[in-house]
């Protein structure tokens, strides 16, 4: 059995951040990763000669974000691509009505004003809602205060449904009323033309990372922990577990004894969303060049409601569309060919014969991935934002959970994962660590 100061489970951003900071403090650290690569849900595909980020894609809000300084220190190029927290306007968006006709600027602004108007009422309803209410319930209450016809209300309601599908990967009725409280973006958003994995590859450089190590159990006590894989055992004074919430919820890793209620409770209560990304590369542009996105209203946008022009980061004519929540699970069960046919049929309802045959396509399936079992965490009905941080409560001062699901102010983000790994390292060392120590990993250093 190999003995270490700390055993880290998972080589995503949280895991390699914790391992790096602990190693820099002089600890002997090993990182166990089930996959054959580092990065976890941060995964750049370069198989087609360009970079396609199949997992996380954005830095959501560069202002005051520790990722911003880190990426700059590492010399990683970014491109501004701000979509906001699924807003009805804020950037040039082509909105199509239920008959697939482009809304003129006046009609589009009227619809966006409706959303903003109900949003103000929604904030008041959420602030005074009873515990245990869903986002669907409070949205319905807010809409009920408006003396509008059914069609007008329906346009706002479907916007709220799609907002929770995109932001949470869950149906509007499964998300807590307060589930989107932290959904605020500060500053622009950026993407990575050279691939987001540049970040995690730099953070992992020099670490003792063991790939293809599927963890089966974590046996722990106040004296330390033992992590068992199918092939070996690793002993550590501390264990940092950074696997996604979906894996923890599945019980595929056995904790002996079971995790304490203050940790196990949040794991049970929080939700793990499913969010499918479909990238489609075309031989040429056929959509307007002066817009960020296209949005489809009505039944025609039930599954494929938003299209984003990601040509600026990929360097090729490319659109990105999404399916989240129950729709995302349905899409994951389809073949690539079925997904592509469905998405193209939707796009052709808008652009008709202008849509050419694609050059290439990519379909993500994080919900069916055994090492993630979902895309990212969200506050489900019955859970709270405090559950995110509570999930990281150290068990006997030995077992530390980290990852995006354990960071309350920025869950479902890379910066949340980064900060959770930093927190775990500080708790293990019992002292503050300047996160800027990681800047020394820059290639020029």
Q: pLDDT value at position 445? A: 46
Q: How far apart are CA 248 and CA 245, in angstroms?
A: 5
Q: pLDDT value at position 85? A: 60
Q: pLDDT value at position 84? A: 60
CA-closest candidate to residue 252, choices 271, 275, 229: 229
Torsion of CA 302, 174, 268, 254, to 10 degrees: -10
pLDDT, average across residues 64-68: 87
- Which of the residue ranges 146-150, 187-191, 306-310 would you say has the lowest mean pLDDT? 187-191
Q: Helix, strand, or coil here: 392?
A: coil
Q: How far apart are CA 330 and CA 339, in angstroms?
A: 10
Q: Please report, in range form, the residues annotated as the binding site for FAD.
A: 33-34, 215
Q: How confident is the model at residue 1 (pLDDT cuts 50, 70, 90)?
A: low
pLDDT at 154 over 60: yes
Contact 103, 78 (CB under 8 A): no
pLDDT at 433 over 60: yes
pLDDT at 186 over 70: no
Percentage of residues of the chain with pLDDT beyond 70: 98
Q: Please report, in range form, the residues annotated as the binding site for substrate.
A: 178, 322
What value does the mean pLDDT of the chain take? 94
Residue-wise pLDDT tens digits, 102-118 = 999 999 999 999 999 99
What Rg do the C-alpha atoms of the chain give, in angstroms? Answer: 22
Contact 364, 52 (CB under 8 A): no
pLDDT at 126 over 80: yes
pLDDT, average across residues 236-251: 98
Q: pLDDT value at position 185? A: 60
Q: Which residues contact 128 (CB under 8 A, 6 or more apart)?
A: none
* HEC letters along 212-238: CCCEEEEEEECCEEEEEECCCEEEEEE
Q: How confident is the model at residue 97 (pLDDT cuts 50, 70, 90)?
A: very high
Residue-wise pLDDT tens digits, 297-345 = 999 999 999 999 999 888 899 999 999 999 999 999 999 999 999 999 9
Q: Please report, in range form, the residues annotated as the binding site.
A: 33-34, 178, 215, 322
Q: Which residues contact 123 (CB under 8 A, 6 or more apart)?
A: none
What is the model's pTM? 0.95
pLDDT, average across residues 409-430: 96
pLDDT, average across residues 374-385: 97
Domains of the chain: 4-42+195-271+377-441 (3.50.50.60)
Q: How confident is the model at residue 373 (pLDDT cuts 50, 70, 90)?
A: very high
């Amino acid at each position: 059995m190999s003995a270490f100061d700390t055993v880290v489970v998972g080589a995503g951003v949280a895991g390699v951040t914790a391992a790096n900071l602990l190693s820099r403090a002089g600890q002997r650290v090993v990182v166990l990763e089930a996959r054959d690569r580092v990065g976890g849900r941060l995964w750049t595909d370069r198989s087609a000669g360009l970079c396609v980020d199949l997992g996380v894609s954005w830095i959501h809000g560069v202002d005051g974000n520790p990722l911003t300084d880190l990426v700059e220190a590492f010399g990683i190029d970014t491109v501004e691509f701000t979509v906001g927290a699924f807003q009805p306007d804020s950037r040039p968006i082509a909105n199509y009505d239920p008959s697939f006709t482009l809304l003129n600027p006046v009609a589009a602004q009227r619809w966006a004003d409706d959303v903003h108007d109900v949003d103000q009422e929604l904030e008041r309803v959420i602030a005074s809602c009873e515990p245990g209410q869903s986002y669907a319930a409070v949205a319905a209450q807010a809409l009920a205060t408006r003396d509008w016809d059914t069609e007008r209300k329906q346009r706002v309601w479907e916007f709220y449904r799609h907002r929770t599908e995109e932001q949470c990967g869950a149906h509007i009725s499964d998300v807590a009323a307060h589930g989107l409280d932290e959904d605020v973006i500060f500053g622009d958003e950026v993407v990575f033309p050279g691939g987001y994995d540049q970040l995690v590859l730099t953070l992992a450089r020099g670490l003792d990372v063991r790939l293809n190590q599927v963890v089966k159990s974590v046996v722990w006590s106040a004296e330390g922990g033992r992590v068992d894989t199918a092939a070996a055992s690793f002993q550590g004074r501390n264990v940092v577990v950074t696997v996604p919430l979906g894996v923890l919820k599945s019980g595929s890793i056995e904790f002996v004894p079971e995790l304490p209620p203050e940790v196990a409770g949040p794991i049970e209560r929080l939700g793990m969303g499913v969010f499918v990304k479909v990238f489609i590369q075309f031989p040429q542009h056929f959509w307007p060049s002066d817009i960020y996105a296209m949005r489809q209203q009505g039944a025609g946008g039930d599954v494929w409601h938003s299209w984003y022009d990601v040509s600026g980061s990929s360097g090729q004519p490319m659109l990105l569309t999404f399916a989240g929540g129950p729709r995302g699970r349905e899409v994951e069960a389809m073949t690539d060919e079925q997904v592509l046919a469905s998405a193209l049929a939707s796009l052709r309802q808008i652009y008709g014969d202008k849509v050419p045959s694609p050059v290439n396509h990519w379909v993500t399936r994080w919900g069916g991935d055994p090492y993630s079992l979902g895309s990212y965490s969200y506050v489900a009905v019955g859970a709270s934002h405090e559950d995110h941080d509570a999930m990281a409560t150290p068990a006997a001062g030995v077992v530390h959970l980290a990852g995006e699901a354990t960071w309350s102010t920025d869950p479902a983000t890379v910066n949340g994962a980064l900060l959770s790994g930093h927190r775990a390292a500080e708790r293990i060392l019992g002292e503050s660590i300047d996160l800027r120590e990681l800047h020394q990993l820059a290639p020029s250093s």
